[in-house]
Structure 1
């Protein structure tokens, strides 16, 4: 066997770049993906773009669209509820485990506070700057931090593919529902409970935070303000 390369392949780089453009909303649902154009924009040949498209299809982020070829996948409201259901279970578990670690270890508690405060400060600044995509990146960073601090490495890896879909709607919800300030107040309350070692409160706050985000999405869809996120409004909110 040949030794594995220590740097990402060209295909992996192209895949990551297109995936981030989809997750950040730069490539909207229904966007026709022309491989020649993508290759030119990224400064690569068509081959890594073709290979990246196969990976994105496997993720469910791009789909075949009749004779048009590949397009950015529309978002299905019912499926988004499924993603949120998984996320709330993972966030509750991470909060419980992190709080338990904080209650048992003063050094861990101090580290949790120090590193968490840095993430909160960066996220609050991003929210105030008005970039929804950047604010969502910091939002994910906060939750990923709690996953890491839980001590269970499987939480983060399990959550990662769900974030690809959740990030796409979170940007729209922040934009339309004006939840930026509320989100970071809730993050701060969660961190306070974690540092206090209060597992019950941390778990409850984490649950309220995720359920509130889901309800905000469904409310915006019902009002028609975020319908464009779902590929021109063809999807209806789940009940």
Structure 2
């Protein structure tokens, strides 16, 4: 590492995570999390980042992977999964996987990295969702995890404020990502990227929170796609 602030981004190989990485590349040393893949290796090569290929639901693997990180300025949680379906139809496996990926893995990784974050009076950013503010039919499991993620962020913010940590929840509407394609397939609807947020727009909001002066703390950022112009 070259003395610049250090940022670890989960889900950093694609979507919002990759967009955040690109926005921070000029100012931060990057550690990009994701499953081992040519995609992860390609973006790390592009940005000069360190790959962090760890299965986030593997408790032991995560603990081993963070063992050498003693200082961290920014932790961005962007990895996630979405199982849609009515409460009457979702399986126990789908509920468990949703919470394991979207909540438990986030809490575990954050807990392990708290000493490194405290050392730099750092920042935790959680990419939440509009579903973390409201629940709709067919979105019960996903919304439950995102409500839980918001509660986690609120508790962490209050617990760590005395240590100088800032904790930001970002609540974007629909974003043009591979995950959104999966969501639309599950909904049985057309994929209409022109109606969705661009990943760069969400990333720039994250950068605003991360680069804010120390007297400012962006606790929550809500982003919605702008209405298309009328003829």
What is the TM-score of this pair, normalised by structure 1?
0.26
Could you say which structure has the higher helix fraction? Answer: 1
What is the TM-score of this pair, normalised by structure 2?
0.27
Q: Which protein has the larger Cα radius of gyration, Structure 1 or Structure 2?
A: 1
Could you say which structure has the higher strand fraction? Answer: 2
